[in-house]
Amino acid sequence: MNEKQRLEAQQVESTNSSDKKSAKDYSQYFETVLQAPSLKDAKKRGKEEVKYHSDFQISEQFRNMGDGRKFYIRTYGCQMNEHDTEVMAGIFMALGYEITSTVEDANVILLNTCAIRENAENKVFGELGHLKTLKKERPDLLIGVCGCMSQEESVVNKILKTYQQVDMVFGTHNIHRLPNILHEAYMSKETVIEVWSKEGDVIENLPKVRRGNIKGWVNIMYGCDKFCTYCIVPYTRGKERSRRPEDVIQEVRQLAAQGYQEITLLGQNVNAYGKDFEDIQYGLGELMQEIRKIDIPRVRFMTSHPRDFDDRLIEVLASGGNLMNHIHLPVQSGSTEVLKIMARKYTREQYLELVAKIKAAIPDVSFTTDIIVGYPNETEEQFEETMSLYREVGFETAYTFIYSPREGTPAAKMEDNVPMEVKKERLQRLNSLVNEMSAAAMKKYEGQIVEVLVEGESKYNPEVLAGYTSKSKLVNFKAPKTAIGKIVKVRITETKTWSLNGEMVEELVEVN
Ligand code: 5AD
Ligand code: SF4
């Protein structure tokens, strides 16, 4: 099925039973609907095999679209979004647009949004409010909303009702359609909506403008099939689909040849890599085994799901080399009962067993994690189990969140007897522990020599350079600017809760 046929097929689907309501809603507000989103449709996982397209091209008719025009993209949320922004920037540049770092200068503004928690969404609505003034002053300005929020029916409805300054809404599966969407928006006075509810295919050869030339992101898979009961991602990002190993390896080789010092392999659930291949038995372990042979100093991957973290991967990680000894392994809760309600598909004991297995294979490993507190009906005892698990694993740091109900997910329908003050108090207690253990982990570096990949000047003092260790610890130190982009040795002179201070000892690796 080509793209046009696919779009037509989906339009047909959207007018039948499951999407009647949204079809009716949308028609009240505008005429140009290419495709409206539906969380219900997103949940219906197709059995169709994933199609790979390597023929992405900018059509002749769009080639000069960007002449004399500038684009600005603001990115919210995770690395996946950051990387999608790099792809959209690549498409803009291929269309002849110039990049700008201020909204005032821009002819097109895109907000690449995140739907993971309510406060992420509120930030975007706030920003849209600010942009209204700009749109009034310059009616020819195009404003677009893309990313995960665009996949939600309620958000699209709200934009149409309340945020008429928005010209385009497009989804996470529609990024490669950016030229057509822009074209449509220039031609039409109505809001252009193109959001495919069901997963897209895998599109290769998309242009990219990467941020910086030291660290690069490489998508290895898209989507998530885990359906944890709190999480909106399986709906907004579609089903799991892996890029072919040869495409991933080629991209990493290119980055290595360009002098990149570090790559991070990206996916919502990277440990499920390859499960969707029908012709080969190939998982993340095999992929890492190939990638570790490539001449690039540092390789990371995120985000892992404990359930799919297999022995083959542990074995490959244990062989070290350019594979970093830091694993981000979201646990979410330390209580088996809560984990069950979250549908995480592992128990506290299984998580601890996995951690023990990894520690035995890689003695110098460090763990970080994600935790949600205040899940519906979480008891004090269950919360204490999270605290005790945190200590038992010895996490070096964590991203901690208060549970935020997401419309369309099973947890949003659960009754909840935990008052917000209790949730906030639990978050505070957890954060105190996180701080305490982070400071303790940092303390161990006092007087030690660490290898730091130097990323640039410190945010707070241009006299100071900043970079990260193999275990992702931020280090600030004085050194000549020539150290930027290199891996250097730094002696740690002072430790803080979230960062280390030091002095450079020597440079290690030259950038080609
Ligand atoms: N509420 C709070 N936190 C959430 N996360 C995902 N969904 C929610 C939600 N509804 C957190 C999880 C996940 C991280 C990226 O965001 O901890 O690992
Ligand atoms: Fe969300 Fe769970 Fe998938 Fe992670 S594994 S993206 S938390 S559904």
CATH at 176: 3.40.50.12160
166 and 215 assigned to the same domain: no
Average pLDDT over residues 346-361: 98
State what percent of residues in the chain have pLDDT above 70: 90
411 and 434 assigned to the same domain: yes
CA of 230 to the centre of ligand 2 (A): 9
User: Whole-angstrom Cα distance, residue 242 to residue 267?
Assistant: 9
Residue 199 lies in a domain: no
More confident of the two residues 296 and 55: 296
Q: Which of 14-18, 79-83, 120-124, 186-190 has the lowest mean pLDDT?
A: 14-18
463 and 403 assigned to the same domain: no
224 in contact with ligand 2, CB cutoff 6 A: yes
Q: Which of 38-47, 68-77, 431-440 has the lowest mean pLDDT?
A: 38-47
356 and 395 assigned to the same domain: yes
Q: Closest ligand to 409 CA?
A: 1
User: Whole-angstrom Cα distance, residue 261 to residue 297?
Assistant: 5
- Domain termination site, one of 144, 169, 194: 194
**C-beta separation of 265 from 216 below 8 A:** no
Rounded to whole angstroms, what are the CA distances from 288 to 217, 242, 265, 270, 303?
Answer: 15, 14, 9, 11, 14
Residue 144 lies in a domain: yes
499 in contact with ligand 1, CB cutoff 6 A: no
**C-beta separation of 65 from 179 below 8 A:** yes
Question: Confidence class of residue 24 from pLDDT cuts 50, 70 and 90?
Answer: very low
Residue 203 lies in a domain: no
User: Whole-angstrom Cα distance, residue 308 to residue 310?
Assistant: 6
Quote the tokens at residue 215. 């660290």
* Secondary structure of 371-422 as H, E, C letters: EEECCCCCCHHHHHHHHHHHHHHCCCEEEEEECCCCCCCHHHHCCCCCCHHH
Residue 235 lies in a domain: yes
Instruction: Give the three-class secondary structure for 218.
Output: strand
Residue 201 lies in a domain: no
φ, ψ dihedrals at 443, nearest 5°: -55, -35
Whether the per-residue pLDDT at 501 is higher than 90: the answer is yes
Whether the per-residue pLDDT at 119 is higher than 80: the answer is yes
Average pLDDT over residues 241-266: 96
**What's residue 349's pLDDT?**
98
DSSP state of 189: S
Whether the per-residue pLDDT at 13 is higher than 60: the answer is no
464 and 359 assigned to the same domain: no
- The residue contributing the CA closest to ligand 2 atom 2 is 228
User: Whole-angstrom Cα distance, residue 211 to residue 82?
Assistant: 9
**Ligand 1 site-directed mutation target among 226, 230, 236, 351, most atoms within 8 Å of CB:** 230
φ, ψ dihedrals at 299, nearest 5°: -130, 130
139 and 245 assigned to the same domain: no
Whether the per-residue pLDDT at 511 is higher than 80: the answer is no
Mean pLDDT of the chain: 90
Q: Which of 56-70, 110-124, 340-354 has the lowest mean pLDDT?
A: 56-70
**What's residue 10's pLDDT?**
33
Residue 140 burial by Cβ neighbours in a 10 Å radius (0-12, 13-18, 19+): exposed
Cis amide linkage into residue 303, ω under 30° from 0: yes
CA of 415 to the centre of ligand 1 (A): 18
Question: Confidence class of residue 460 from pLDDT cuts 50, 70 and 90?
Answer: confident
Beta strand residue intervals within 237-364, DSSP E: 241-242, 262-266, 298-302, 326-328
CA of 117 to the centre of ligand 2 (A): 13
Question: Confidence class of residue 125 from pLDDT cuts 50, 70 and 90?
Answer: very high
**Ligand 2 site-directed mutation target among 228, 239, 273, most atoms within 8 Å of CB:** 228
State what percent of residues in the chain have pLDDT above 90: 80
Query: How many other β-carbons are positioned within 10 Å of the β-carbon of residue 368?
Result: 21
Whether the per-residue pLDDT at 454 is higher than 80: the answer is yes
- Domain termination site, one of 133, 161, 194: 194
CA of 409 to the centre of ligand 2 (A): 12
311: CATH: 3.80.30.20
3-state helix, strand, coil in the chain (%, to 5): 40, 20, 40
Whether the per-residue pLDDT at 166 is higher than 50: the answer is yes
Of 214, 300, 216, 299, which Cα lies nearest the Cα of 251? 216
Binding residue per annotation — 146?
Answer: no
Report pLDDT digits (tens) over 331-349. 999 999 999 999 999 999 9
176 and 53 assigned to the same domain: yes
Q: Closest ligand to 234 CA?
A: 2
Strand partners, 234: none
The sign of the dihedral angle between the CA atoms of 132, 134, 137, 138 is: negative
- Domain termination site, one of 428, 443, 458: 443
Atom of ligand 1 nearest to the CA of 303: 18
Average pLDDT over residues 254-280: 95
User: Whole-angstrom Cα distance, residue 511 to residue 256?
Assistant: 10
Tell me the residue range of the domain where 325 lies. Answer: 210-443
CA of 309 to the centre of ligand 2 (A): 14
Strand partners, 459: none
**What's residue 508's pLDDT?**
54
Residue 500 lies in a domain: yes
Average pLDDT over residues 494-501: 97
How, if at all, do strands 487-495 and 499-509 pair?
A: antiparallel
236 in contact with ligand 2, CB cutoff 6 A: no
373 and 328 assigned to the same domain: yes
Q: How many structural domains compose the chain?
A: 3
Whether the per-residue pLDDT at 30 is higher than 50: the answer is no
116 in contact with ligand 1, CB cutoff 6 A: yes
Instruction: Give the three-class secondary structure for 508.
Output: strand
Give the number of residues written for the chain. Answer: 512
Distance of CA 223 to the CA centre of its chain: 11
Report pLDDT digits (tens) over 65-85. 999 999 999 999 999 999 999
**What's residue 63's pLDDT?**
87
Residue 200 lies in a domain: no
**What's residue 201's pLDDT?**
76
Binding residue per annotation — 228?
Answer: yes
User: Whole-angstrom Cα distance, residue 327 to residue 357?
Assistant: 13
**What's residue 46's pLDDT?**
62
Q: Closest ligand to 403 CA?
A: 1
214 and 187 assigned to the same domain: no
231 in contact with ligand 2, CB cutoff 6 A: yes
309 and 408 assigned to the same domain: yes
499: CATH: 2.40.50.140
Whether the per-residue pLDDT at 425 is higher than 50: the answer is yes
Query: How many other β-carbons are positioned within 10 Å of the β-carbon of residue 47?
Result: 5
Question: Confidence class of residue 455 from pLDDT cuts 50, 70 and 90?
Answer: very high
398 in contact with ligand 1, CB cutoff 6 A: no
Binding residue per annotation — 114?
Answer: yes
> What global pTM score does this model have?
0.89
DSSP state of 332: B
**What's residue 110's pLDDT?**
98
258 and 159 assigned to the same domain: no
381 and 486 assigned to the same domain: no
CA of 92 to the centre of ligand 2 (A): 30
More confident of the two residues 46 and 422: 422
Residue 204 lies in a domain: no
User: Whole-angstrom Cα distance, residue 131 to residue 233?
Assistant: 27
**What's residue 51's pLDDT?**
79
CA of 233 to the centre of ligand 1 (A): 9
CA of 350 to the centre of ligand 2 (A): 18
